[in-house]
Amino acid sequence: MSAVNRNKRDGRNRARFASGHAATVLRLVFSLAITFFGLLLVTFLIGRVLPIDPVLAAVGDRAPQAVYDRVREEMGLNLPLWQQFFIYISNVLQGNFGQSVLTSNSVLDDIKRVFPATLELATLATIIGVLLGIPAGVFAAINKGKWPDHVVRVIGLAGYSMPIFWLGLMGLLVFYMKLDWVAGPGRLDSFYVDFIEPTTGLMLVDTLIEGDMDLFWNAVSHIILPASILAYFSLAYIARMTRSFMLEQLSQEYILTARVKGISEHRIIWRHALGNVMVPLVTVIALSYANLLEGSVLTEIIFAWPGLGLYITNSLLNADMNAVLGGTIVVGAVFIGVNMLSDVLYRLLDPRARR
């Protein structure tokens, strides 16, 4: 084969590859739009069928009828439902989720404030969970039925069955009160709170941007305990799934092929088997990450963590519908986003899924 020919063919392949990608991206965007539309429709309908009168919530129950009627008209609630939905969609697409009755800020501003707190916590927890959970699962699988396997299973089972609020309180009691290894509730010591200008809203990133290492380590010391506790739960789940995926892969024929070739056990496990385990595992990790991004109410309450879970729960308890719906849309969008991300990773990891 001549070099010219080869180049021509490579070019053609690349073109085919690129157009294939464009089609995939287009399909992805389309399915994303449909899903998001469905999400908006459902949240809108929930907002309308709930027996909470948004007008009453805004004006109070002692307002005269005339005021009530005027506000109702201002809110567009006298319009037909489809028109209301249309307005709702165009508002949401412009980032307008309405005002929060409880905080009297716009819901978008509130979410911009609380979501990074949850994002930071969930991301750190997932990173810890993945970094410890996968090796633990692999370790258990290759020692199936022996003591390391039992240890991992007991740890996993404990992680599954311990109530998180109890674990959180015990963690605070031991590591904060008794040992004083970590800082207490909140994202920073109250002394530091006003020192930092939110750029990304992620405390660890913002403090690094400002180059203030004292603040950074303070933030680390605050986040490490709640993140570890959340990580424990995702670790338990990831380790269990890794173990069972690993056992399945290790019994496949291609593992025997690799052994015939004389490859080291280390490489067989971490390259051959884990390469295949990662395919289903990506979905598992993505779902556990999405669950954490929803905000874990109990952890956020115990650690006074001003996150999304706490915000939505407070809004719900106070019948602050705009905030609840706004929060729901964010949670839904996060789920859609993480699912899409796991789809993309899935394609990267499994050549059979690339079409």
Nearer to other proteins, 231 or 284 (CB): 284
User: Tokens 């729960």 correspond to what residue?
Assistant: 313
Determine the interface stretch with other proteins among 53-61, 155-163, 259-267, 293-301 (rule: CB under 8 A). Answer: 259-267
- Cβ atoms < 10 Å from Cβ of 167: 20
339 SS3 class: helix
| Distance separating alpha carbons of residues 284 and 345, to the nearest angstrom | 12
The candidate with the shortest Cα–Cα distance to 188, out of 215, 154, 165, is 215
Q: Under the criterion CB under 8 A, does residue 6 sit at the interface with other proteins?
A: yes
Please say whether the beta carbons of 227 and 128 come within 8 A: yes
Q: Under the criterion CB under 8 A, does residue 266 sit at the interface with other proteins?
A: no
Q: Is the dihedral of CA 185, 300, 123, 112 positive or negative?
A: negative
The candidate with the shortest Cα–Cα distance to 280, out of 225, 180, 193, 349, is 349
Q: Under the criterion CB under 8 A, does residue 18 sit at the interface with other proteins?
A: no
Q: Under the criterion CB under 8 A, does residue 257 sit at the interface with other proteins?
A: yes
Smallest gap, in angstroms, from Cβ of residue 247 to other proteins? 12
Token reading at 256: 């025997």
Smallest gap, in angstroms, from Cβ of residue 129 to other proteins? 23
Q: Which of 1, 3, 4, 177 touches other proteins by CB under 8 A?
A: 1
Q: Which of 51, 60, 64, 262 touches other proteins by CB under 8 A?
A: 262
Q: Under the criterion CB under 8 A, does residue 253 sit at the interface with other proteins?
A: yes
Please say whether the beta carbons of 300 and 125 come within 8 A: no
Q: Under the criterion CB under 8 A, does residue 259 sit at the interface with other proteins?
A: yes
x/- site string to other proteins, residues 323 to 352, per CB under 8 A?
Answer: --------------------------xxxx
Long-range CB contacts for residues 263-272, cutoff 8 Å, separation at least 24: 269/138, 269/142, 270/138
Q: Under the criterion CB under 8 A, does residue 16 sit at the interface with other proteins?
A: no
Q: Under the criterion CB under 8 A, does residue 258 sit at the interface with other proteins?
A: yes
Determine the interface stretch with other proteins among 64-72, 151-159, 226-234, 260-268 (rule: CB under 8 A). Answer: 260-268
Rg (CA), the chain: 25
The candidate with the shortest Cα–Cα distance to 126, out of 202, 201, 238, 270, is 238
Q: Which of 106, 118, 276, 328 touches other proteins by CB under 8 A?
A: 276
Q: Under the criterion CB under 8 A, does residue 147 sit at the interface with other proteins?
A: no
Stated length of the chain: 355
Which residues in this chain contact other proteins in the complex, by CB under 8 A?
A: 1, 6, 252-254, 256-265, 272, 275-276, 279, 349-352
